[in-house]
Structure 1
Amino acid sequence: MSYLEATNDLYKEAALTPDVGLCCTTNPIWQFPGLSVPKIMQEMNYGCGSTVSAQDLVNNPKVLYVGVGGGMELLQFAYFSRQKHGVIGIDVVDEMLEASRKNFRIAEEENDWFNSEFVDLVKGDALHLPVKDESIDVAAQNCLFNIFKIDDLKKAVGEMYRVLKPHGRLVMSDPICEQPMNDTLRNDDRLRAQCLSGSIPLKDYIKVLTDAGFGTIEIRARKSYRVLSPNHYPTDKLIFIESIEIAAIKDPMPSDGPCVFTGKTAIYYGDEPYFDDGLGHVLMQNQPLAVCDKTAAALAKSNPEIHISESTWHYNGGGCC
């Protein structure tokens, strides 16, 4: 049995019998005005964060969500879209698709505004998306891509890039791990399917995104997720796993490399009213400006009277690059 078959089996079980403890998100369940999320959807929330952000969902976007789970985030996306076929949910597991269809009927009863026709549920593979090129405004996945081994991860990200319109957004939440894992952990298909042993370092995760062509990367959240301890897992040391929320934007790749925002700011504290580096970055005296990591490094070298903050791993727009 391959690791992908093990994953499909695990989520078939989770579709037939909801497993509240399968994933462990520290996010609240977003309850927007007029939105009721059915209890069964909350129980089948198999994610490690959230991919739903109002800033991404303007002007009636066409949304793609891969790995439907119980349908909760599909419902939340539909809350903003509210149009027939506005949201596409893709999953390779028949039982999960059927569970979501049932859950959407419950959602119709609890939400006067919701119609199941807002969401198209389609059987498909993340590595071969049944979606047209450049047809999607916002693509999302939650705690799925970390399951893939590196070659399949590149394929999955490449598929998302293909279907996104120019300047479209790939919004994701996944576990990451900065520590090395032994081969026993890495090769345990069940642990990989449980979103544990497939976790990779953040820099490697970002590189897959930028290698695919995404010119702008936003790190929106970075949180504690799980620990793999020697008394429960085949490891002789404690391994700390975090979850991230990240947006990759299909902007053109800058000539000097991608813009990666990790929550850094620059503050000019010199005697002049402002500092202009001549490259499009103007810092008003004592006013923080959000900057990407490469701009932060350049500004630090250009003027000793600029303070560069540490990464907060939280960025929600603004500033410059």
Structure 2
Amino acid sequence: MSTAYLETTKNIYKEAAENPQIGLCCTTTPIWQLPGLNIPKRMQEMNYGCGSTVNPRDLANNPKVLYVGVGGGMELLQFAYFSRQKAGVIGIDIVDEMIEASRKNILDAENTNPWFSSAFIELRKGDALTLPIDDTSIDVAAQNCLFNIFKETQLRQALKEMYRVLKPNGRLILSDPTCETSMPDALKDDERLRALCLSGAIPLKDYIKIISDIGFGTIEVRARRPYRILDSKHYATNELIFIESVEVCAVKDPMPEDGPCIFTGKTAIYYGSNEYFDDDKGHMLYQNQPLSVCDKTADNLAALNRNDIFISESTWFYDGGGCC
């Protein structure tokens, strides 16, 4: 499969590093307001991500963090807020100009954040397809609006690399556009649109399956938001194409015999006459206490055909506390 489109991507982001382009491809990354965290304006202007990969519940105990595709360095700084140690955060990028721009922004952040040292962040040149990182050395790996650029062969390779470098029970945090409409070939083959995080979007179920195929035993869909519209006036499409952004956490834990535990925001509520219901599979549902359940557990509970257990539909916002 041709990878010429990757060179187009490098050129676009070389230009974006030298001349920041607000909203170049992505528009929905939260600017977290954390005590004592000051994000330089130029970092924000070079925020080429969708959604966020920074979540405090992933970042306890000074984790070793890997971030692929550094952008202006904003999420590197946010990760360093939770991992205040030398080289606690490693940023990888293939574009020299982006690395240099991020380095300058990090030095600016050092001047306005008394708690922060630029030594907390180590920048390395490297390719997402062959990461310059040792096996099982990373607690949290993340990428924001990068992997959707890849075609399937390269996407699988990039995910395998993330899996390789993660420690057992390590977490892979991803934020990418997804699309339930079949993308026209003319758009999929448009190298610039792919580089701009648009035409590489695939259906969420396909995205999740590829992640689970790599070996991640637990997958959490944490957020799903409207993102962009591709219309016939501006793009080579005969129908309106709705793109969403999704935030996913994949945990490198053992794969269950019956397949991965995938959390999409479903909840089970037992409302029977007993104090609790035990499904004999490790799940206790206490009376009128909602329990977040993975899709697999939801299906198993529904198959019991009980009239005292309610199963909600997927909300696509999972916030922990699940059954597994």
Give the TM-score, by structure 1 length.
0.99
Q: Unaligned regions of 5+ residues in structure 2, if any?
A: none
Q: Is this contact kept in 2: 1:31–1:37, CA < 8 A? A: no
1:80 maps to which of 79, 82, 94: 82
| 1:318 paired residue number | 321
| 2:94 paired residue number | 92
Q: Is this contact kept in 2: 1:45–1:70, CA < 8 A? A: yes
Q: How does 1:90-129 map to 2 (within 5 A)?
A: 90-129=92-131
Q: Which runs of 4+ in 1 moved over 3 A?
A: none
2:310 maps to which of 286, 307, 312: 307
Q: Is this contact kept in 1: 2:29–2:49, CA < 8 A? A: no
Moved more, 272-281 or 171-180: 272-281
| 2:246 paired residue number | 244
Give secondary structure in 2 for the equivalent of 1:217. Answer: strand
Q: Which string of whole-angstrom CA distances, capped at 9 and with x for unpartnered residues, describes residues 264-304 of structure 1?
A: 00001112221111111111111110000000010111233
Shift in Å at residue 159 of structure 1?
Answer: 0.1
Give secondary structure in 2 for the equivalent of 1:113. Answer: coil
Q: Which string of whole-angstrom CA distances, capped at 9 and with x for unpartnered residues, describes residues 105-132 of structure 1?
A: 1001111111111100000000000000
Shift in Å at residue 92 of structure 1?
Answer: 0.2
CA distance in 1, matches of 2:290, 2:90: 39
CA distance in 1, matches of 2:15, 2:152: 25
| 1:24 paired residue number | 26
Shift in Å at residue 37 of structure 1?
Answer: 0.4
Give the TM-score, by structure 2 length.
0.98
Give secondary structure in 2 for the equivalent of 1:171. Answer: strand
| 1:163 paired residue number | 165
1:288 is aligned to 2:283: no
Percent of aligned pairs with the same residue?
A: 70
Kindly provide the amino acid, as one letter, of the partner of residue 93 in structure 2. D
Give secondary structure in 2 for the equivalent of 1:60. Answer: coil
Q: Unaligned regions of 5+ residues in structure 1, if any?
A: none
2:38 maps to which of 15, 36, 39: 36
Give the number of equivalent residue pairs.
Answer: 321
Give the superposed CA RMSD.
0.9
